[in-house]
Amino acid sequence: MKGRVLDYEVQSNSGVISGDDGGRYAFSGSDWKAVVAPRKGMAVDYDVKGTNAIGVYPALESSDSKSKVAAGLFAILLGGLGIHKFYLGYIGPGLVYLLTNTIGWFLTIFMLGIPNFILFVFAFVEGVIYLTKTDEEFERIYVVGRRSWF
């Protein structure tokens, strides 16, 4: 079945899934079958046993899928603007890049463009990391796992 995580509590290591069939199913951490922790709103695929969800896996929705090549090229070519972060849905880190770059240009006289150079290096490294990951690793780490930095 498919559904979405409604709630997950680390303390009790349990959560609740809202199924596409309208039912709600409880699950425990031992039923979770992924490296990344469950989070509210995450799409999941699972089996049902009574009122419990078992064998719970994060599910990629086609609209969630992102291209590692596009993200990598954005990072290498337009990294200082944070375009790669916005593309991956990381609004906060994207704003950090954008604002630091913008402020860096205004302070170029005083800081000799150092903030912009640092952003370029970070973005270039991120682009190379994106491009060297396999498609599965990229999806698991940056799309499903939502790791926003390196």
Domain edges within the chain? 2-58, 68-144
Mean pLDDT to the nearest integer, 39-68: 84
User: What is the rounded distance in angstroms from the CA atom of residue 100 to the CA atom of residue 94?
Assistant: 10
Share of the chain above pLDDT 90, in %: 57
pLDDT bracket for residue 64 (50, 70, 90): low
In terms of pTM, does the model score above 0.75? no
Residue 63: exposed, middle, or buried by beta-carbon count in 10 A (0-12, 13-18, 19+)? exposed
- Tell me the CB-side half-sphere exposure of residue 138, using CA atoms within 13 A: 20
Average pLDDT over residues 81-90: 92
Mean pLDDT of 24-50: 90
CATH of 2-58, one of 3.40.30.10, 2.40.50.140, 3.40.50.10170, 1.20.990.10: 2.40.50.140
